[in-house]
Structure 1
C-alpha cells in the first residue's frame, strides 16, 4: 500500500516511490531520474516535464519536484533554460560505480542463441544510400515518377476502402499476384500461376522465409563463391552449414559443388547475372544443376535480383522455366527497378509449397502491408511499370557505355572493366600488386563507394583476384567520369611493390 508506480515520462516508464520509507521523496525522485539518464532512457537533449505537471502526475508537492530538479542541475545531469524548461545535459558527469551501463555500452550478443550469434556476426557489406558515386544497387531516383506513384497510392486507398484495412492474405494482394504471374510468364519465361506467387517485404525476407521453411539446423546449402553476404546471412539464420562453391565464366561450378557438398539440401544461385562477377550461367551448367536437384530431392533458389537490365544478347529465360521437377523457387524484387524503400518482392514457389508458405507467413508476420501492394498492382496493370522499365534500360545502357569508356581512358594499360551482359555495376579488375581492400579504403575517404571484390568471399581471401565494384545507375555520365578519374589518381598514389 505504501508504494505507488506512476509514469513520469513515456521514455522513463513506471517508477516506485516508497511514501512511507525513511528516504525523503525528493531523493527518491532524484535517484529515479538520475538513473534514467545514466542508462539512456532519458536521452541527451530530452525535455523533462514542468515541475508543476510532474508534481500533479505524481501526487507530490511542487517543492519536492523542484528540489529533485535542483539536485540534478547541481550535479550536471540536467540543464535549465530560462523560459524553455529543464533538459537532459548533452555531456554527462562520470557515472558512479555500480550504475547501469549506458545502452551503447551493453555487451552485444548476450543471451543470443547459437544461430543468433552466427547471424549477428555474419559479415555484411554496408549499402550506401546517400548518393555517393559507385554505390551498388541504387537506381536513378531522379527519373522515377513519384508524383504518379503518390496518385496511385491515394487512389488505391480511396477505391479499396475497408478491405484494404482488414487482415491481408498471407500470400499477398490477389490482383498484384496475378499481374506478377502474367509479367513473369511473358518476360522471364517463368512457369507459374497467380496462386504460386507470394508477396514479401523485399527479396531478403523471401530468402529468410524459405531458409526457415526448407532447412534444418546443420543442413548443407550451396552458396556462390564469391557471393552476396545477405544471401548467406539468410541461410545462416536458419542454422544451415554453408558450402562455398566457386564461380567461373559459366557460373556456379556444379561439379565442384557435388564434390564438396553432394548431400546439400539447397543451392542458392544468381544464374542470370551472378553477383558480384556479373557472369551468366551457361545452359550446360543450368541443366546439370537441375539434374542434381532432381536426383537429390534438393531445392534450388534462383535469386533474379536485377535481370530486367540486360544490354546484350537475346532475352534470357529464367532457370525456373527449365525446371520440370518442381525443384526451383524463383525470387525477385521491385526495389532496384523502382526505388529501394518500396520493400516489395515476390517468391514463386512450386504448387506443393503454397500451403506450407501460407502457414509460415501466418505464424511469422501475417503478410506484407497491402496498401502499397494495391498501388503496385495499378502501376503494373496500367502499363507504367513496363514504360518505366524501358526508359531505365535505355538510360542505364548509356551510363554503362559511358563508365566503360571512362575506365578504358583513365586506366589504360593498368586495369580493365568486366561489365557482363546485365546489371547495374561493372567490375574493375586490378593487378595483383594493387590490393583492392586498400584502394577501397582510400576511395571511401574521398567520398567514393567502391566495395572490394575480396570482401565478397566468405573468407575474404580474394582468391579470384583483385577488383572493385562500381555501380553506375544512380549518377550521370559526367559525374561518373569525374569519379573514375579520381579513382585512377588514387591508384597512381598507391605505394608500389
Structure 2
C-alpha cells in the first residue's frame, strides 16, 4: 500500500504563472512586496482587474508566487492604504469599486499605456514658446567647427589647474569650508580688482565685484537692483539672446535699438523709448556684428546716464581679444558719475564648464545688491573660485591670454584665407579686428533664398556647428548669415570644415529653383 505523497514545492525554474499574471524576480533589488504591489496597481489601472473584482487570498497568492505569506500581506496592506483595494471582515480582498475613471486611464507609474495619450501639462506662455523652438544641437565628443563662444580646450593648462584646485581644497580655508559672502570668494574678488587695474585700465574696490555664473545671472541681479517690473531698457539689435532672456525674466521691457557702423546710437534710443532707465551695450566688440562703439557715442551715452540718472550695463565678454593694437578701454574707465556696471566672463576666456563670470557694480549699489544677493539662493559655485584666484594672482591668467591671443589670431587668418577659396560666390566673410568669431553673409546671388536657420540645421547633420545670425534679432527685420566661431576650431580642420559647409550651402540655397527663405 502506497503511503500519501507529499506535495513538492515548485522550483524557481518551474514556477507557475498565477492567474493575475504576476511574476516575481528574486534577483531584483526591489523588495518582493513592492513588486507585488506595483504589478497589482498596473493590473488595476490597465483594466485587467476591474472595480469590485475579488482577489485571491493572501495564502493562495503566496503559494502561487512561491513566497512567504507575510510578503503578500505587506503588499495588500499598502494597496489598502492607497485606496486600490478594500478589505471587509469575513470576506476576501477586492478591488475598490469607487475608483475614479481618470485613475483607470492613466498609469500611476511607468511609461504611457499603448493606445493612451498623455496630455501635456499646462505651462507658462514663455515655456510654451521655448518648447515651440527648434532645439539647438548638442554635439558630443571632440570640438566641432565652428562653435560660437568656445575657447580652445587644448590651450588651457589643465594640469596646472588641477594642482591649484588640490592646493585650495587639500586644506581649505575658513571661507571655502563655510558660508561664503554673497558676492563670492574674497581672494578671487581681490585678484579680479588688481587685474582690471592693470589690464583694463580702471580701478575698483574688491567689495564692488560680484562673482556670477554668466551674463544672464549678472544682468538679472543688476536689473532687480536698479529697475522695477515694467521699466524699459535699451538693448542692441541684433544682440545676444541671453540679454533679452535675462531682462524678460526680471519683468523688464527690452527695446531693441538697431546697430549701425558706429555702434549703438543714443539718439535713436531716445527717439524710440525716452523713458528707458537702462542701456545694455557691448561697446568694445558688439555681438554678433563686431562693431566698436565710437568715442563720440560713448560720451553721449555716459552723458545720458548722468543727466537722466540712468544706468549702463557694459558687456565686455571678449574685449581681451583684439588683434591689432591694444584692447580698447571699457566704458567703465570713462565713467565719472558712477553709472556703469561692468560685466565679463572667465568661461569664454578659459573653459565653458568653469561657469564663472563677474560683475563690477557702481559703488552706490553695493549695499542694495548685497541685501538682494543675501536672499537669492542661486549663487556662483564656490568650487573653483579659490583656484581661479591663485591662477590670476600668480600671473597664469595673463600668460594664458597672451598665448591664446596669438593662437586665435592665427586661426582667424586661416579662416579668412580658406573662406576665399571655399566659399567664393556663396558667402563672404568680413574680417573682424577682434573677438572669437566672424560673420559669413550670403552673396547677392543666393541672398533671396538663403535661410540661415535651415542651413544651420543641415550643417549640424553634417557634423558642423554654426549659429544663425537671424536669431540674434528681436524685431521682424532680420539679416541672414552664419556666425562662425574659430577660437575652438583647430587650424588643421578649418579648410576641410569650410569645404563641407560649402556643400551644405549649395544643397540648401545654391540651386536656382530653391524656394525663397521665410520672411
- TM superposition score normalised by structure 2: 0.75
1:275 and 1:36 mapped to 2: Cα distance?
Answer: 54
Please point out which of 62, 72, 88 is paired with 2:71: 62
Q: Structure 1 residues 26, 341: CA separation in 2 closer, same or farther (over 3 Å shift)? A: closer
Q: What SS is found at the alignment partner of 2:374? A: helix
- 2:492 is aligned, of 449, 458, 478, to 478
- Give me the whole-angstrom Cα distance separating, in 2, the residues matched to 1:35 and 1:339: 53
Q: Is residue 489 of structure 1 aligned with residue 498 of structure 2?
A: no
- How far did 1:292 drift? 1.5
Separation in 1, partners of 2:234, 2:348: 25
- Pairwise CA distance, 1:225: 0.6
1:72-93 deviations in Å (ceiling 9; x for gaps): xxxxxxxxxxxxxxxxxxxxxx
What residue is the counterpart of 1:229 in the other structure?
Answer: 241
Separation in 2, partners of 1:151, 1:60: 59
Number of equivalent positions:
426
Q: Tell me the equivalent position of 2:459.
A: 443
* 1:349 and 2:361 aligned: yes
Corresponding residue number in structure 2 for 1:166: 178
Answering whether residue 226 of structure 2 is matched by residue 214 of structure 1, we say yes
**C-alpha distance in 2 between matches for 1:136 and 1:125:** 16
Q: In the alignment, what sits opposite 2:39?
A: 30
| Displacement of 1:488 | 1.6
Q: Counterpart of 1:139?
A: 151
Q: Could you tell me how far apart the structure 2 residues matched to 1:449 and 1:220 are? A: 34
Q: Distance in 2 between matches of 1:197 and 1:241?
A: 26
Pick from 261, 268, 277 the counterpart of residue 249 of structure 1. Answer: 261
Match of 1:97 among 93, 105, 112: 105
Residues 29 and 65, structure 1, Cα contact 8 Å, conserved in 2: no
SS at match of 1:371: coil
1:359-378 correspondence runs (5 A): 359-365=371-377, 367-378=379-390
| C-alpha distance in structure 1 between counterparts of 2:72 and 2:133, whole Å | 55
Equivalent residue for 1:330, pick from 342, 345, 369: 342
TM-aligned CA deviation for residue 350 of structure 1: 0.8
Q: Secondary structure at the match of 1:370?
A: coil
Q: CA deviation at 1:424?
A: 0.9
RMSD: 3.3
Determine which of 287, 300, 307 is the counterpart of 1:295: 307
TM-score, length of structure 1 as denominator length: 0.78
Q: Deviations over 1:330-354 (max 9, x none)?
A: 0111001111010111110011111
CA deviations on 1:218-256 (whole Å, 9 max, x unpaired) are: 111111111111111000001111101001111112211
Match of residue 178 from structure 1: 190
**Higher share in strand:** 1
1:304 aligns with 2:316: yes
In structure 1, the partner of 2:468 is: 452
Aligned counterparts of 1:36 and 1:392: Cα–Cα separation in 2? 61
Distance across 2 between alignment mates of 1:225 and 1:272: 16
SS state at 2:434 partner: coil
SS of the residue 1:160 aligns to: coil
- The offset of 1:414, in angstroms, is 4.0
Judged with a 3 Å threshold, the aligned counterparts in structure 2 of structure 1 residues 118 and 218 are, in CA distance, closer, same or farther, namely: farther
**What's the offset of the Cα at 1:121?**
7.2
State the Cα deviation string for residues 387-424 of structure 1 (Å, max 9, x = none).
Answer: 11111111111000000100112223443212322111
Distance 1:270 1:118 in 2: 30
Q: Distance in 2 between matches of 1:108 and 1:60?
A: 41
Compared with structure 1, are the counterparts of its residues 426 and 220 closer, same or farther at alpha carbon in structure 2 (3 Å cutoff)? same
Indicate if the aligned counterparts of 2:415 and 2:495 stay in contact, CA closer than 8 A.
yes
For 2:435 and 2:396, locate their aligned partners in 1 and report how far apart those are by CA, in whole Å: 21
Q: Once the two structures are superposed, what CA deviation does each residue of 1:38-90 show, in whole Å capped at 9, x if it has no partner? A: xxxxxxxxxxxxxx9xx9xxx9823558999xxxxxxxxxxxxxxxxxxxxxx
Deviation of residue 135 (structure 1)? 0.8
Asked if residue 419 in structure 1 is aligned to residue 431 in structure 2, the reply is yes
Secondary structure at 1:252 match in 2: coil
What is the distance in 2 between the residues matched to 1:329 and 1:26? 59
**Structure 1 equivalent of residue 14 of structure 2:** none
Contact 2:212 2:218 in 1 (8 A): yes
Task: Identify the residue that residue 384 of structure 1 maps to in structure 2.
Answer: 396
Q: Secondary structure of the residue that 1:256 maps to in structure 2? A: helix
Alignment CA distance shift 1:407-1:105 (3 Å): farther
Show structure 2 runs of 5+ residues with no match: 1-32, 47-61, 78-102, 514-519
2-side partners of 1:445 and 1:389: how far apart?
33
- Please report how far the alpha carbon of residue 158 of structure 1 lies from its aligned counterpart in structure 2 after TM superposition: 2.4
C-alpha distance in structure 2 between counterparts of 1:475 and 1:444, whole Å: 15
Q: Distance in 2 between matches of 1:483 and 1:254?
A: 40
Q: Kindly tell me: are residues 118 and 186 of structure 1, through their superposed partners in 2, closer, same or farther at Cα, counting changes over 3 Å?
A: farther
Q: CA deviation at 1:439?
A: 2.2
For residues 60 and 247 of structure 1, do their structure 2 counterparts lie closer, same or farther at Cα, with a shift above 3 Å needed? farther
